[in-house]
Amino acid sequence: MEWLTQPWPWYVAGPLIGLTVPILLLLGNKTFGISSSLRHICAACLPAGIPFFQYDWKKESWNLFFVGGVFVGGLVAGTFLSNPEFIQIAPATKQALAAQHVTDFRGLIPEDLFSWSSLTTLRGFILMVVGGFLVGFGTRWAGGCTSGHAIMGLSNLQWPSLVATVCFMIGGFLMTWLGLPWILSL
């Protein structure tokens, strides 16, 4: 059971994620993606006459079970299979983050940045609320999320998914090197 609590190497986890694509295609010509489930939930719960939500969401209800399974799996893994040791971070990264007053490395995400108490700070608000809005806006604008485009779209050789994935990567690099240092300095 200990092998479940340790990080899996890329050469095991990557192919398992990649095998999701042919399995979904073989089991009913389904496509992989998480962001579309929010649209299905809104169409099911908020039938307010908005044209974007007027479609037969029941045909895609399998996606809601898939996302529910991801959520339950995350809860089970976080509760029963979590690694009690600290996350391994390079000393240079710890020093750089400590200079920005980020010192809590006990979990997967630093509590200094992502917690209810940090939400009341300017940088916490920017990271969680503004960042969440931008991720949602970008997902809708790109016609899908990173998992849908990078895993499903690229494996189907879709040109828009290649463009979206390249833009996701460029945006991530720019945010890491330019945006995040500025936000952390607030």
Specify the pLDDT at position 133.
92
- Whether residue 64 is predicted with pLDDT greater than 80 in this model: the reply is yes
Residue 87: phi and psi, rounded to 5, are -65, 135
- 97-121: per-residue pLDDT in tens? 888 888 888 777 888 888 888 888 8
Q: Which residue has the tokens 């974007």?
A: 52
Q: Extract the tokens encoding 160.
A: 């828009």
pTM: 0.73
56: closest CA among 47, 65, 67? 47
Q: 120-167, pLDDT tens digit by residue?
A: 889 889 999 999 999 888 888 888 888 888 888 888 889 999 999 999
List of residues 6+ apart from 54 with CB closer than 8 A: 43, 47
Tokens 């579309």, residue? 36
| CA–CA dist 173, 178 (Å, integer) | 8
Average pLDDT in the 171-184 region? 91
**Residue 19 pLDDT grade (very low, low, confident, very high; cuts 50, 70, 90):** confident
What torsion do the CA atoms of 52, 55, 59, 60 make, to the nearest 10 degrees?
10
Q: According to the model, what pLDDT value does residue 108 have? A: 73
The CB density around residue 82, as the number of other CB atoms within 10 Å, is 11
